[in-house]
Amino acid sequence: MDKAIEIELKKVYDTWLNAYLNGDVKTYDAYFDTDYRFIGSANNEEYLNRKDTTKFFEATAHQLAGKTELRKNEITISQYTNVFFITHFFEAYFLHNSHWEYYGRFRFSSVMIKTKNGWKFIYQHFSMPDNKVNTGKTIGFEAVTSENMQLKEAIKRRTVELEQKNEQLQIALEDLRATQAQLIQSEKLASLGQLAAGIAHEIKNPMNFINNFSELSLEYVEELKEALAKLEKNDTTAEMGELLDNVSENLKKVHHHGTRADNIVKSMLMHSRGGSGKLEPTDLNALIKEYVNLAFHGMRAGKYAINVTIDLNLDETVGNVSLNTEDFSRVILNLCKNAFDAMRAKRQLSENETYQPVLNIQTYKDEAQVVHVVIQDNGPGIPDSNKEKLFQPFFTTKKGTEGTGLGLSITHDIITKHKGRIEVSSEENNFTRFHIYLPQK
């Protein structure tokens, strides 16, 4: 049984018992359910309802208030589905002529449930010592047994109903997961598959020409420099040397950016193929740089481009992390895209012309070897009412066909498959921060 529930129940029971011992009728009655039943130790205390029980207490409370003391208390709490059983053994002492006199050992048996109005007693049985009840006055065991059997049968029926509903929910959940998996794959193909297939291959060939011919041209420039060095030095040869140096630097820049563009194309192609499901040691910082850059250029090439400052604070000690590269790259793309969309919305609505969108991305590893990835934007933030629904499939705040409501749900599933977790914190009109935890043990 949950420890917190046990502590809560103990506190409720102590409050009620204190009211019972001190003649507090209002508090005593407040903890009874509408269908409360009571069984005492004598025939005149059989099966009293809530009203009759409280009425009986009102008439007899003066006999207990300030004159009763319970010692050697033994309380046990057990649970059966949503019903809780409290068994209380104690020794009762009564005040007589300024002295506490031992009367006998008693047992209180209570059954409690949690209702919309809090914890309530639905059944109680009060047992007095056998030697304190007159012969023929003790309540028959058949009555108690009958009441207990009825209670157990009701609990059993309710348990069967809950199990049947759980089975139905489990089947529905499995169907939902299967459908979600199909939607994930379809959404992947729709978002980047067509782009990769239609454009990436076309870009790749000219990029190969640019890279190859820039390398070849650099070799020609070096040969010209060697030939120029053999000529007699004068103003003309000096000027030619400077020009060759400039051409060489330009060709190096062309080759550098050509290689960078080629890597972007390769990333797009890799992303469109879908993940293999295997976790492999991956340079996390390099992956983040690559896909943040890809997300940024994708946004800049879109219809509603904005200027965004990218602030990378990547800890070099993070090193290689066990990742499914294709899947985790999607996490970075999704979170960056959402951040860009949010900051664009704030930019359009902001009356402050000095607002500058900033995306901060940080990585580090803590003492427990947990890898942290923090992605934060300075956009409009997330309302508190939306935070709990943020990772639910199909939940979106975007209008029309702008969002499918699957991005963050997919992101959450991918992080979970990596044995990690993702948390969100936000302050309206200030920031939104997604914090990813990746345990590496």
Mean pLDDT in consecutive groups of 10 residues from the start of the chain, 441 residues: 88 93 92 85 65 86 85 90 90 84 86 91 77 43 53 74 82 77 59 55 75 86 86 85 88 84 65 62 93 87 84 92 88 89 84 84 92 93 75 54 55 85 88 90 62
Buried b (16+ CB within 10 A) or exposed e, 91-105: ebbeeeeeeeeebee
How much is the pLDDT for 232? Answer: 83
Question: What are the backbone dihedrals phi and psi of residue 96, each rounded to the nearest 5 degrees, phi first?
Answer: -140, 115
Angle at 33 between CA 28 and CA 36, to 5 degrees: 90
Q: Can you give 307-363 as a three-state secondary structure string?
A: CCEEEEEECHHHCEEEECHHHHHHHHHHHHHHHHHHHHHHHHHCCCCCCCCEEEEEE
CATH number of the CATH domain containing 128: 3.10.450.50
Last residue of a domain, one of 139, 172, 194: 139
How much is the pLDDT for 269? Answer: 58
How much is the pLDDT for 47? Answer: 60
Last residue of a domain, one of 118, 139, 160: 139
Last residue of a domain, one of 111, 139, 167: 139
In a domain, 34, yes or no: yes
Two tokens, residue 18? 């204190």
Which residues constitute the domain of residue 14?
3-139
Q: The pTM is what?
A: 0.41
How much is the pLDDT for 413? Answer: 81
In a domain, 415, yes or no: yes
How much is the pLDDT for 345? Answer: 86
CATH number of the CATH domain containing 416: 3.30.565.10
How much is the pLDDT for 44? Answer: 57
Integer CA distances (angstroms), 246 to 45, 218, 250, 252, 268, in order? 107, 11, 6, 10, 33
In a domain, 234, yes or no: no
What's the CA gap between 345 and 407, in Å, rounded? 18
Q: How many CA atoms lie within 13 A of 315 on its CB side?
A: 13
